[in-house]
Amino acid sequence: MSVDAVGLEERAAVLATRSIKKQSKIVGLRLAIACMDLTTLEGKDTPQRVRQLCRKAVTPDIDDPDLPSVAAVCVYPTLVREAKDALAGTQVKVASVATAFPSGLAPAHVKLQEAKEAVAAGADEIDMVIDRGAFLAGRYREVANEIAAIKDATRPALLKVILETGELGTYDNVRRAAWLAMEAGADFIKTSTGKIHPAATLPVALAMLEAARDFEQCGGRRVGVKVAGGIRTAKQALQYLVVVKETMGDEYLSPATFRIGASALLNDVLMQLTKERSGVYQSEDYFTKD
C-alpha cells in the first residue's frame, strides 16, 4: 500500500495547529513526562552522569513531588547495570540501545550477543536498530530475520525497533519498514536514533501510527510507537500527543503504547509546568542540566 505523502503532511500540519492551553496543557505535559524515555547516548557518558539522570527520571522536579516519574531511562549497554542499581525499587524501566547502535553495521552474532548481554545486565527494554543498508537494498527477509532473532534472544524484554526514518527516504519505505518490524515481533516501532538529521517529524510519526493502527485492525497485535530525536520543546511534545490521540484514540496515550525519547525535552516541559504554576516565564538557569 502506498502512502499519500501530501495528505499525510497536510493532516500532520493541521493537527499541529491545535491550541492547548491552561488545564489541558498541564494534563498533556504530565502525560508527556509519564511517556518519556529519558535518554543519554553520548560517547562521554559516565556512570555518575547516568546516576544523576536516574534521580531526575524518578523525581523530575523536586519542587513538584506530585509529578509522575518518566517511563524509562535509555542508555548504552555498558551503563545498564549502573542505571538498574540507581532505579532499584522504582517503577522506572531501564532501556538499552543495542545491535551496534546507531549504525547497526556489525556482524549478526556480535549484535545478538550485545543485546543478550544488555538484558543479562538488567535491561527491561531493548532499543535495536535495523540495518538500513540491507533494508534499502531490498533484503527485507534478512532484516526481518534479524529482528525475530533479537526478539527471541532478549525475551521477556520489551523490543523497540528503530527504523531510522531519516535514512529511509520515503513514507512508503517508512510504512514498509514499520510493517516488517511489527510482523517480525517488535513490541514498539521507533522513529530514529537521534544521531541522524532529520530525526522524528510529525508526518513520519503519523505514518507509523497509521501503520500500527492498520496492523492491529488486520488481526495483528497492538504495537507501540516511540518518537525520538529532535523533540526539544513542550509544544512539540503536545503536538505528538495530539497526533497519537487523533490516530489511535485515548487508550493509546499511555507509556505501555506510546513513548517519547528525549533528553532536553524534560527541562522544557518542567519550565512550562512551572510557568503554569507560578505565572511567570522561566529560565534554564534554574533547572538542572542533567
Partner 1 sequence: MNRLAVRKTLKLFIGGAFVRSESGRTVACELGGHVMQAARATRKDARDAVRAARAAWPGWCGRSAYNRGQIIYRLAEMMESRRAQLADGLRASGSSRVAAQREVDAAIDRAVFYAGWCDKIEQVLSTKNPVASPHFNVSSPEPTGVVAIIAPRLPALVPLVSTFLPVIAAGNSVVVLAGDADPQTAVNVAECVATADVPAGVVNLLTGCRAEVAPTLAGHMDVNALDLWLGDEAVACALHDAACTNLKRVRRHKEPDASFWFGPDAAGLAWIEPFVEIKTVWHPAGV
Nearer residue to partner 1 within complex by CB, 24 or 170: 24
Cβ-contact 158, 190 below 8 angstroms:
no
Query: Applying CB under 8 A, what is the total number of residues that bind partner 1?
Result: 9
From the CB of 284, what's the least distance to partner 1, in Å? 7
Q: Does 1 bind partner 1 (CB under 8 A)?
A: no
Q: How far is the CB of 270 from partner 1 (least distance, A)?
A: 12
Distance (Å) of CA 212 to CA 52, 153, 285: 35, 24, 40
Distances (CA, A) of 140 to 34, 93, 131, 136: 34, 31, 10, 8
Q: How far apart are CB 113 and partner 1 at their closest, in Å? A: 45
The Cα–Cα gap between 194 and 42 comes to 11
Q: Indicate the residue among 113 and 282 with the shorter CB distance to partner 1.
A: 282
Say whether residue 64 binds partner 1 (CB under 8 A). no
* Cβ-proximal residues to 19 (8 Å cutoff; 6+ apart), any chain: none
250 binds partner 1 (CB under 8 A): no
Residues 6+ apart with CB under 8 A from 132: 104, 164, 167, 168
Burial class (CB in 10 A: 0-12, 13-18, 19+), 256: middle
Per CB under 8 A, 21 contacts partner 1: no
Q: How far is CA 18 from CA 106, 167, 233, 279, in A?
A: 43, 29, 16, 22
Closer of 65 and 279 to partner 1 (Cβ) = 279
Print the binding letters for residues 265-284 with partner 1: x by CB under 8 A, - otherwise: -------------xxxxxxx
Find the binding residues for partner 1 in span 96-115 (CB under 8 A). none
288 binds partner 1 (CB under 8 A): no
Minimum gap (Å) between residue 80 Cβ and partner 1: 36
251 lines the binding site for partner 1 (CB under 8 A): no
Helix (H, G, I), strand (E, B) or coil at 17: coil
Minimum CB–partner distance for residue 272 and partner 1 (Å): 11
Residue 286 interacting with partner 1 (CB under 8 A):
yes
Contact criterion met (CB below 8 Å) for 23 and 50 = no
Catalytic residues: 127, 190, 226
The site for partner 1 (CB under 8 A) is made up of 278-286
